[in-house]
Every structure is written in structure tokens, then in C-alpha cells.
Amino acid sequence: MAQKFTNHAVSRLASALNDTDLLFSVMPGEGGKFPVLAAGDWFMVTVIKVSGQSEIMKCTARTGDQFTIDRAQENTEAQAFSAGDRVEARFTAGAITAIYDRIQAVQDASMPKTGGTFSGPLTFNGGASSFAARPTFADKTPWDTGNFDPNTKLGTGGRAYSSARLFLGGADCVFNWAAQGGQPTYLWGGNDPNNMYVYTPSNFSVNYANSANYANSAGSTPWANAAGNVNGVTNPAWAGARVQWDSGVVEIGAIGSYTGGNGWVQSPYVVVGMRSCGGSSTANCIFFEVALLRNQ
């Protein structure tokens, strides 16, 4: 359904036309000068008297030279016309106004080249949107298949599986969850649950360790003081260490010649052997071999 136009469409009435007629014919063979109409199409036609008076009509169908018309269009009055009055397919003010209104409606519904705001859903190419470059929204770059793989997204409550690699401090840090022997060059830790740092164990001090034989301080143990002495012995041997002689063998005896306490081996000497003289087993012929021991 559209208004049709053609150039140089001019003829004359083949017969008189009163002010109520809805059909008229032009001169034989001249109807072809006017637009061909499909169902719903139309064109505007102006009939002009010799006096100059005119009426604008709307032709809604044309069969050869015969026109079907609506009368008194665009604020003109229906009039009676004589045979021979002029018939023209003019470009009227109403046609220009209709075209302008359609153009204005399209412009009102269109976005400007710069600025402007969309409202409601926006569809490109039947549903697929395409842009020459990735757009930004409020200074944020949207994710798309060019810069985001949805298969790498971790859902709520999901478990992360990766190479255990983190980019920290400008370098990749790899976490290997396997026991290692020896002393590390660096240790990962912190003084609170929220801030982690890398420490150098060579800078650690164990002079004030929290655990020393089940004591917070070496001076609080019953056999030790803060200087690391045990019963007055500096730098004592470890538990399970072998004792060593701190002197040569000393002979005490014969035991029969000792009276009172003099017959006892005095601490810290210990008996390391015995001998008898001449095969005799009497007290006056038995001697103790003793030695002084040290703790390390």
C-alpha cells in the first residue's frame, strides 16, 4: 500500500462530472499516462476548470482510462466539471507532508551517530550482534568469547584445579604439596591469617625457642639454667651419648688396708676393673681399678 507518482501525467475529462460522481474517464488512450495501481495503492489527481477552480481527488483504482476516486481531498470542495476540463497527477502538499512525517518518524526513532541512549531490547541481524571492536560500558570491558572462556569459570562452592601457580610480586609462584627434607632457603608464612610473606630461615634466632625440654625458658627446668648448664656442667651431652674417661686408670687398695670411708671408691670415680696379687684372694691382696668419667 503506497502512494504512486509518475511524470507528465496530463489529460482531459472525456465527459462531464457532477459533484457526487465517484468515477470519471479521461480521453481515450490517455489513461496509461497515469500510475498503475495494485491493491491498496493510490495516487492524487487534480481536476481544473477553465476558470482555474480545482478539486484534489484520490484515485484508488484505474482500469484503462476509467478512474475510481474519493472526492474533496486536502481541504478542497467537491465540484461539477465539464467535459474537456484538465486532469493532472500533481505532487500535492498533502503528499509532501506525508513523506516528511514518515521521515521525521524514522529520525525520531533513530540513534544519533554520537551519544544517545537505547531503551528496551536491542536486536542486530535477527538476534546476532556484531561490532567492529569490543565496546566498553562505564569504562568496563565486557567479557566475550574473545577474552573469556566460560569453562574456566569457578562456580560458587566449586573446587579450583590448576597448576597451583600464582602470580605474586611480579613473578610466578608454584606450590608443590610434597614433603621436602633439609632446610629451605625461604619459608612462606605470616603473623596473622590475612597477610602472608616470604621469610629467610637463615635469619631466624632459636636462642629463645618456645620449647626446650617441655619448658618455655631453659632457666625454668629443674636441671638447667638459661646458660645451658646441667648440674653445673656446661654444654652437657645429648641423651644417649656415650661417656668417656676423663683420666687414666687409678688403682685403689688393697681393700684390707682401708678403714672406714677410705675403703670406698669416691664419686665421680667408677670401678672399671679389679686385680689380686700372687693369686691370693684375701682382702689385703685385692685392688680396685677406677677411672674418672666425663659427660662428653
Q: To which residue does cell 460522481 refer? A: 21
CATH topology of domain 10-98: Elongation Factor Tu (Ef-tu); domain 3 (2.40.30)
Sign of the Cα torsion 267, 269, 275, 276 reads negative
Inter-residue contact 12 to 27 (CB < 8 Å): yes
pLDDT for position 162: 57
d(CA 244, CA 228): 21
Q: To which residue does cell 503506497 refer? A: 2
The three grid cell numbers given for residue 105, joined into one nine-digit string: 518518524
Strand partners, 289: 251, 273
Sign of the Cα torsion 256, 260, 262, 266 reads positive
Q: One digit per residue, pLDDT tens: the chain, 296 residues?
A: 789 999 999 999 999 999 999 999 999 999 999 999 999 999 999 999 999 999 999 999 999 999 999 999 999 999 999 999 999 999 999 999 999 999 998 888 776 777 777 677 666 666 666 677 777 777 777 777 777 777 777 677 766 665 566 777 778 777 777 787 877 888 888 888 788 888 888 777 766 555 555 544 444 444 444 445 666 666 666 666 666 766 678 887 777 766 544 556 666 778 878 787 776 767 778 777 888 776 55
* In the chain, domain spans: 10-98, 163-236, 244-294
d(CA 244, CA 153): 69
At residue 155, φ and ψ (nearest 5 deg) are: -75, 165
Residue from 82, 99, 20, 84 nearest 57 by CA: 20
Q: How far is CA 289 from the centre of its chain?
A: 85
∠ CA 238-242-244, rounded to 5°: 115
Contacts of 96 (CB under 8 A, 6+ apart): none
